Amino acid sequence: MRAARGITSRAHPLWLAYILHRLSGLGLALFLPFHFWVLAMAMTDPARLDGFLAMTEAGMVKLAEFGLVFLLAVHMFGGLRLMAMEWLPWSASQKTLAAGTTAASFLIACLFFLKAV
């Protein structure tokens, strides 16, 4: 309860962006060793690699993959947002505009990919 109140008392957009960036980064860092280990099987044990890759068709694993892609995308855009905020001396309205444009262009890109797929 204490922790929940501690979070709600400072749950403004920038703080949420910070915690999302941190947790997505942590998640990616924990996943990477496993990712590398599986890929290295191409060299050590190709049959087992195919076994792992076949697993990616299962529902639960698909969900986890979606989660990873989400973590990667969110961490990258969060990071670009951070660097823009730190290094480009923009006014507040310019920042809102830039964020809006980025979101819109990302949406268009996603739509494009969905079509392409």
Partner 1 sequence: MLGLRLYMLQRITALLMAPLVLGHLAVMIYAIQGGLSAAEILGRTQGSILWFLFYGVFVVAVAIHGAIGLRVIAFEWGGMKGAVLNLFTWAVGIGLLTLGARAVWAVTFA
Partner 2 sequence: MTPDFLTVTIERGPDRQDRFEVPAYDNQTVLDVVSWVQQNADPTLSYRFACRVGMCGSCAMMVNGVPRWTCRTHISKVLDGNAVTIGPLRNLPVIKDLAVDMDPFFDKWVAAEGVHHGALTRDDPIAPIEAESAARVEANAAIECINCSVCYAACDTVAGNPDYLGPAALQRAWTLLNDVKDEGRTAILDAVSGTGGCHNCHSMGSCTAYCPNELDPMSAIAGLKRETAKSFFRRGR
**Residue 99, binding choice from partner 1, partner 2, none, Cβ under 5 to 8 Å by partner class:** none
Burial of 78 (0-12, 13-18, 19+ CB in 10 A): middle
Which position among 18, 70, 106, 112 is part of the footprint of partner 2 (CB under 8 A)?
Answer: 18
H or E segment to which residue 45 belongs: none
Residue 17 vs 72, nearer CB to partner 2: 17
The structure tokens listed for 57 are: 């068709």
6 touches partner 2 (CB under 8 A): yes
Using alpha carbons, select from 75, 69, 73, 95 the residue that is nearest to residue 84.
Answer: 95
**Which residues of this chain interact with partner 1, rule CB under 8 A?**
22, 25-26, 28-29, 32-33, 35-37, 39-44, 46, 49-50, 53-54, 56-57, 69, 72-73, 76, 79-80, 83, 113, 117
